[in-house]
Amino acid sequence: MKLFEEDEDLNKYRYGVFVTSSEKLAIDIWRIYRLRAADEGVIKEFKYDFGVEGFCLDEFYPTEAAMTFRALFYNLMEIFSQRFLSEEESTMTLKTLRMKYFMIPAVLGRDGKNIVLRMAVRSLKLKAKIRWIIEQIDKVIPIALHLEGSK
C-alpha cells in the first residue's frame, strides 16, 4: 500500500509508525529507533555471509555473550575493512571478503628457527596484499609470523 500515492511530492518518501507507551517526545522516539535502522541488514549479512545466526539462547547471559561476540566480530570486520582494504574492497560483502582473505588453505610451519605461514595463494597480487595486511597487523600486535618468501 502506498501512502499519498496521488501526491508526487510525498509518495517518494518511506513512512513508518512507532507505537509506544513512552512519554518521550515523538522526535526523541524517532531518534532512538532511527539508530537501529541498519541492525536488520547487519544481522542478515552475518546470517548469510558468515553463517552466524541463532544467537537467541535459552537464558539471558548466554544470549548476551553471543550478541556481544557478534558485535565484537562486526567491529573487527569494520576495522579490517577500513584499515586494510581499498575503497573498492571495503564495499564488498562479508561473504566475498571471507572467501578472498579468510578461507585460504595454509600450513603453519618452521623454516629453521622462524615460524612461517605457507599459504595456498597463486596470485602474486593477492599474495602481496595478504603479506602487507599481516605486516600491518604485526605492527600493532606482534605476531611473529613470517610468510614464506617474504624476504
As a whole number of angstroms, the distance between CA 118 and CA 107 comes to: 5
DSSP state of 45: H
| Residue 151 in this model has a pLDDT that exceeds 60 | no
Q: Write the burial class of residue 85 (CB in 10 Å: 0-12 exposed, 13-18 middle, 19+ buried).
A: middle
**pLDDT over 90, % of the chain:** 0
Mean residue pLDDT across the chain: 78
Q: Sign (positive/negative) of CA torsion 94, 107, 141, 137?
A: negative
pLDDT value, residue 1? 52
Give the chain's length: 151
Residue 3 three-state SS:
coil
| Residue 142 in this model has a pLDDT that exceeds 60 | yes
Categorize the per-residue pLDDT at 54 as very low, low, confident or very high, splitting at 50, 70 and 90.
low
**Alpha-carbon distances of 54 from 42, 63, 67, rounded to whole Å:** 14, 9, 10
pLDDT value, residue 150? 45
- The predicted-structure confidence for 71-80, as pLDDT tens digits, reads as follows 788 778 878 8
- The predicted-structure confidence for 17-29, as pLDDT tens digits, reads as follows 778 888 999 888 8
pLDDT (mean) for 117-122:
86
Categorize the per-residue pLDDT at 127 as very low, low, confident or very high, splitting at 50, 70 and 90.
confident
8 A C-beta contact, residue 87 and residue 81: no
> Bigger pLDDT: 43 or 109?
109
- Around Cβ 42, how many Cβ atoms within 10 Å? 13
**pLDDT over 70, % of the chain:** 81
Angle between helices 60-84 and 124-140 (to 10 degrees): 120
Which residues pair with residue 147 across a beta bridge? 117
- The predicted-structure confidence for 78-91, as pLDDT tens digits, reads as follows 788 888 888 888 88
pLDDT value, residue 55? 65
- Around Cβ 48, how many Cβ atoms within 10 Å? 13
The residue with cell 602481496 is 128
Question: 99: which 3 cell numbers?
Answer: 572467501
